[in-house]
Chains A and B, each alone.
Chain A
Amino acid sequence: MKKRTVLLGVMLVILIAVMAGCKDSESKASNEQGGSEGEGSGFSIAMRTLATPYVESHPDINEDKYVKELEKLTGTDINIRLVPHNEYVERMTLMLASNDIPDVMQAGGGVLGPELAGGVEAGAFMPLDDLLKKHGQHLLEAIPQEAWDRVTYDGKIYAIPEYLSNPSRRGTAIRMDLLEKTGLDVPKTTDEFLEVMRAFKELGVKNPYQGREDFKYSDTFFGAFDAFPYQWELYNDEVVPKFMAGDKIKDALEYYRTMYEEGLIHPEFLTIQQPEYRSNIIAGNTGMWSMNAEEVNAWEQEIQNNVPEAEVAIIPSPVGPDGKGGHYLYGQVTRSFLISSETEANVEDIIKFFDWQVTEEAERFFTYGIEGDTYTLNDDGSVNYEMKDDTNFLNEQHYRNRWLWMIRDATYTEGILELTEEGQQLMSVFDEILSNEGRDSILYDPPLEAMESNPDIRPGSDTPSDVWMTGAAKIILGQEPLDYHDTIVEEWLNKGGSQAIEEATKRYNEDDGVLSR
């Protein structure tokens, strides 16, 4: 008897599973039909989650109320396919290789990156010039030419870019309440910063400067010396990595070594990962750090949950011998959207969908959400939107402003910042502090060929190459003297660096795919 019940149970489960499977494929089929009938409204779009909490914790983003509202406003039926943040390149190339290409794909800062696996060159995406002229007038008007240049290949526009009018996004954040306790002024030069960090240490601050793995968000002081090891510059008629342009890199390394020796930087900054970097700051264990300036108010609030008297401000980054400083400058394009050349969806409607995003109606929707739900309209037509402190509210707002809003100036969301005093301060931080600092680099698009085959010597967009990093770590940890850097350079050159410099210089002189401000 018992056996039979078990068997029956198993059969039932299988039956349900099979039925569920059928149902799923049915709905898929009907969806696809909707697209191919040419009603012009349905299309699929692959988007990277960008570690956005609201997106990653959502049970089904396509059922989200904002997505539904967006479809209503634009008269489309979009099907978002999420691409996990950490497996972005693999998942994207897998889609391309298996010919399972969604109608729209979101790439990173250009159209020649590894996530597209040469798709633009191979003709897998559609040139958009004519379509934009017909249906994308708003886009052509709103997006600056430099951003269009970044998504142009062989004279044709291949993507619609989300752009950045102020490429200096990272700032130096400091706990003002702690600075007040030390009695010191806001530091300016690298020496003054060192003094403040020492004073923090005396106060008992665990990590005067935070730091994070791969020198990511740990390179404030490399910026002061203009020695970001992943950037390139013209030096003695050659385009070389900044760590080979004179001795400034040694000054920077010496500075970091001092910080490490005196315990001014987190002792494990070489391997500390993002969540721990963030939680250290939130827990109030950190005096100073490098961060994306737009999030400073949200972080301050979270720190205040642990340390009520905490106050955070973005101050001008430390300046080095040349009187300048700042973090690395981002590219003009943060995300770009390409249309598959084999799409069966109505391309005009896709362009219109993006074109709508730079209109005022779109701005209000993405900034404040849905009327009657997240905001109300006053009699005079102005918006009544209530800011709240809780994390869920902020995550939802962040998602609307920065993820779902695909085409915008990604510097900051003015409509939100202007509502509060802190927000207004932040806007002035952007306009008065950050826009005046930052270090530029010579970049190549498509990337240098000499780098492609050798991952060891290739830097990331904001991380140094492995060869350099391994050696530099030894110097900072005090295992090797400063002069060991010459050995690193030699190794880097031997592993293909010489060819890279040769190619970079040649292309620079011929102005072949050189990106620079």
Chain B
Amino acid sequence: MTSRKLALIWKHKALYLIALPGIAYFIIFKYIPIMGSVIAFQDYNIFQGITGSAWVGLEQFERMFQYPEFLRILKNTLLINLYDIVFGFSAPIILALMLNEVRKMLAKRIIQTIVYMPHFLSWVIISGIFIGILSPSTGMVNHFLNLFGIDSIYFLGEDSFIRTIIVGSGMWRETGWSTIIYLAALAGINPQLYEAADIDGANRWQQTWKITIPTLMPTIMMLFLLQIGNFLDFGFERVDVFLNPFNRVNGEIFDTYIYEAGLLQNQYSYTTAIGIFKSVVGLILLVGANFVSRKTTGNSLY
């Protein structure tokens, strides 16, 4: 290291000092645990530890690809994540645009508060609410269907609705909360642009299309890329609370399978292999999306 570099660091010592806790956090809680992934190449036994367990090479990965249900779980994981990105990502943008058009400040505030309240509920409570309103005997939704002469549907007792329910409940919880960033971005748009457009005779629809969306675009792209970074990392709890043996066929994702097979059946090496596979796929997607984004819109994460 040259003395110039050191001098540079010394010059910005305050910044480095501020960054230190963050760096420490990533090293301790993200990088060091990655080393534990070596157990994917072992037949890990908790009593022998990482140093004592036998090495088995790629056996765990082979077993994973041979597992007859592997493709089904992969398909579920991809589909649920895809739905979540398509619907779950676009909903807050639309909601933010709609809220932006609300003229009465009081109404806007009230709506905003109501829509982001579910964010603070835990998944257990949310699943309780959804199971309640979807119940065939006492649920609101089925009462409504019955009014139109449609028979009650056992939504959680069969496999055709589970993906919708999982993605829908996530949207109900997070849409309001996610609008906050967009609303902040919207507040930052120079009002003169709208005034100028007004004078030029643009209606509200044209203003939204020509001014609001283009100015929001960098924010949208950035959030989209961050979202892609979490692709396949759907989260265990929000799926597990809705799963039962009757909808598992279409609802089971990697996270829930890892929990079932790994934590409950002590197959740590096998499920770590699955976790690694999942991470690698996620990484490829992130790099790919980032590349496409940089080429097409000029925005990228790095």
Contact = CB atoms under 8 A, between A and B. Distances in A.
Interface size class of A (residues with CB under 8 A): 20 to 34
A418 interface: no
B15 interface: no
B245 A214 contact: yes
A93 interface: yes
Nearest to A465: B245
A311 interface: no
B245 A89 contact: no
Nearest to B159: A470
B266 A93 contact: yes
B230 interface: no
Contacts of B135: 268
Interface string B216-251: 000000000000000000000000000011101100
Interface string A439-457: 0000000000000110110
Interface in B236-291: 244-246, 248-249, 260-261, 263-267
A118 B47 contact: yes
Nearest to A206: B137
Contacts of B47: 96, 117-119, 122-124
Interface in B140-184: 154, 156-159
A123 B267 CA distance: 19
B40 to A, nearest CB: 16
Contacts of A266: 137
B256 to A, nearest CB: 11
A469 interface: yes
Contacts of A97: 46
A122 B48 contact: yes
Contacts of A469: 245-246
Contacts of A89: 263-264
Main secondary structure of the interface of A (DSSP, over half): helix
Given A456-B69, A466-B248, A469-B246, A90 B263 contact: yes
Given A96-B47, A117-B266, A477 B157 contact: yes
Contact of A473 (B157, B261, B265): B157
Nearest to A466: B245
Interface string A82-98: 00000001100100110
A114 B264 contact: yes
B143 to A, nearest CB: 14
Contacts of A456: 69
Interface in A464-484: 466, 469-470, 473, 477, 479
B45 interface: yes
Contacts of B263: 89-90, 93
Given A96-B46, A495-B68, A453 B245 contact: no
Interface in A214-269: 214, 266-268
A117 B263 CA distance: 10
A421 B292 CA distance: 79
Interface of B: 45-48, 63, 68-69, 131, 135-137, 154, 156-159, 244-246, 248-249, 260-261, 263-267
* Top-7 shortest CB links A-B: A122-B47, A97-B46, A469-B245, A466-B245, A117-B266, A90-B263, A473-B246
15 contacts: A118-B45, A119-B47, A122-B47, A122-B48, A266-B137, A267-B154, A268-B154, A271-B156, A271-B157, A453-B63, A456-B69, A466-B248, A469-B246, A473-B245, A479-B158
Interface of A: 89-90, 93, 96-97, 114, 117-119, 122-124, 213-214, 266-268, 270-271, 452-453, 455-456, 466, 469-470, 473, 477, 479, 494-495
